[in-house]
Amino acid sequence: MSIGLTLLGLLEGGPRHGYDLKRAYDDRFGHDRQVHYGQVYSTLARLLKQGLVEADGVEVDGGPERKRYAITEAGVADVAGWLATAEKPDAYLQNTLYTKVVLALLSGRPASEVLDVQRSAHLDAMRELTRRKTRGDLVDQLICDHALFHLEADLRWLELTAARLDQLAKEIA
């Protein structure tokens, strides 16, 4: 995910200072990976240099001065273009798990054990996501659903591969 475009999108709601942007980002998108203050401020400096944000005054709330940033028309156009562009679907045509299965077969090790270990890890992750989903708000539920659907697809692949191991072993031999 583009931190810069996400911060620009948050600025469309009105001018904010870096601390407020970090909080808004973490509340909306940082459930599993929060953004660091340094990353927020370095991104804002880059966006300022690119003309996508502008300084919009300074806030003094009894603490250090905080520079407020506002999105420019160029920034709004960048966000609009980003939102209108489809994300590249990841096809995962060459992934580590497939490589492990093939290498296990080539080395004479039981590839079914590789699949079993991975199936167990996927099921553990799915149980944890399901627990998190039941305790979470709608945003957290949607994030968990996205991850669960990907894990379910992986499990289908694991089952299909397990059913075809003998055939795969013959083809790679």
Q: Can you give the three-state secondary structure of 4-32, one letter per residue?
A: HHHHHHHHCCCCEEHHHHHHHHHHHHCCC
Q: Residue 65 pLDDT > 80, yes or no?
A: no
Q: Residue 61 pLDDT > 80, yes or no?
A: no
Q: What are the backbone dihedrals phi and psi of residue 144, each rounded to the nearest 5 degrees, phi first?
A: -65, -40
Over range 86-92, report the average pLDDT.
71
Query: Other CB atoms closer than 10 Å to residue 85's CB: what's the count?
Result: 8
Which CA distances in Å does 40 have to 21, 68, 71, 158?
8, 13, 15, 39
Q: Residue 94 pLDDT > 70, yes or no?
A: no
Over range 56-77, report the average pLDDT.
85
Predicted confidence at residue 106, as pLDDT, reads 86
**Measured at the alpha carbon of residue 135, what is the angle toward residues 131 and 140, in degrees to the nearest 5?**
95
Residue 147 or residue 59, greater confidence: 147
Q: Residue 97 pLDDT > 80, yes or no?
A: yes
**If you average pLDDT over every residue of the chain, what do you get?**
89
Q: Under 8 Å CB-to-CB from 130, ≥6 apart: which residues?
A: 144, 148
